[in-house]
Structure 1
Amino acid sequence: MDAIKLLTAQHRALENVLKKALQANGAEQYALFKQGADELSVHIASEEQIFYPAVKAKRTRDILLESLEEHLSLKRLIADLLTLKPADDTFQPKLKVLSEQAEHHHKEEEEHLFPKVTKLLDDKELDDLGSEMQALQLALIKHGDPRKSAADETAEAQPL
């Protein structure tokens, strides 16, 4: 699958699950948060480990560095939320910020990074990249609880 189409589809799915989490309560809200956090964590990992290095070019460097800082912020929010329960006063506001920041990050990638990438890579390269990303994502899911791995990566942004 084309890497950009894969990432864009995942953006919409992540936004949807986080919006559902914001509308839910109690155990359902926490289950939806965990689902979203796992999906977001494997998405971020595949971008950082595969997509960003593959598209690193002079014309994308600034966007990628900003994206990595946004990933760090998202990981920190996931880490914070994992220590809370939905009944805690700060759970709902942090979940809302996570949702808003994820949506903002997705919009920036789709408007600024992806158009440049489509000029840098041909269809086969994008398909190969997408397949590699999907394989990594499946491995991370199979390993279990990807959100916990993301929560462990909060000291600094991943290097480019």
Structure 2
Amino acid sequence: MDAIELLTSQHRSLEALMKAWMDGPQSQRESLFKRVGDELTVHLTSEEQIFYPAVKEKRTEDILLESLEEHLSLKRVLADLVELAPDDPAFEPKFHVLKEQAEHHHKEEEEHLFPKVRKLLEPMALNTLGQQMQALQQQLKREGDPREIVTEQTDKAAPLE
């Protein structure tokens, strides 16, 4: 799958999961949060380790640096949520912040970064990136509870390598 199509599809999936968390019964919130946390973590990680480095050389550095700062903000809120009990009074407001920040980040990428990348990279290169990202995401999920790793990634934005 094309990397941009993969990321855009994951944006919609994450947004749907977050909406399900907000609209769903209290009894499903803990399991839905774990899914949101895991899916968000593997998405961010694959962008940082594969997609962003691949497109950095194509005159996108300004957008990527902003995206990495947005990732840091998402990781900080997610790390706070991972540490909180689901019934903590601060959990729901923090989840709302996570949802809003994720939606903003998705919009920024889809409106500014992805169109630029689509013009700069050939379809074959985008397909290769998509395959690499899917492989990394599957590996992270096999290793278990990807959301737990964000607690160690909140001091500074990931480097743009």
Q: Structure 1 residue runs of 4+, over 4 Å off? A: none
Alpha-carbon distance change, 67 to 50 in structure 1, aligned in 2, over 3 angstroms: same
Structure 2's unaligned 5+ residue stretches are: none
**1:47 matched residue in structure 2:** 47
Give the aligned residue type for 1:84. L
3-state SS in 1 of match to 2:70: helix
- TM-score for the superposition, normalised by structure 2: 0.96
Give the aligned residue type for 2:40. L
Q: Displacement of 1:105 after TM fit?
A: 0.2
Distance in 2 (CA, whole Å) between partners of 1:150 and 1:6 is 22
Q: Displacement of 1:64 after TM fit?
A: 0.3
Give deviations 1:104-152, integer Å, cap 9, x for gaps: 0000000000000011100000000000000000000000010011221
Q: Is the 8 A contact 2:11 2:106 kept in 1?
A: yes
**1:89 matched residue in structure 2:** 89
Structure 1's unaligned 5+ residue stretches are: none
What is the aligned residue count?
160
Q: Is the 8 A contact 1:4 1:130 kept in 2?
A: yes
Distance in 2 (CA, whole Å) between partners of 1:27 and 1:141 is 24
- TM-score for the superposition, normalised by structure 1: 0.97
Q: Displacement of 1:57 after TM fit?
A: 3.1
**RMSD value, Cα:** 1.0
Distance in 2 (CA, whole Å) between partners of 1:98 and 1:90 is 12
Distance in 2 (CA, whole Å) between partners of 1:120 and 1:53 is 14
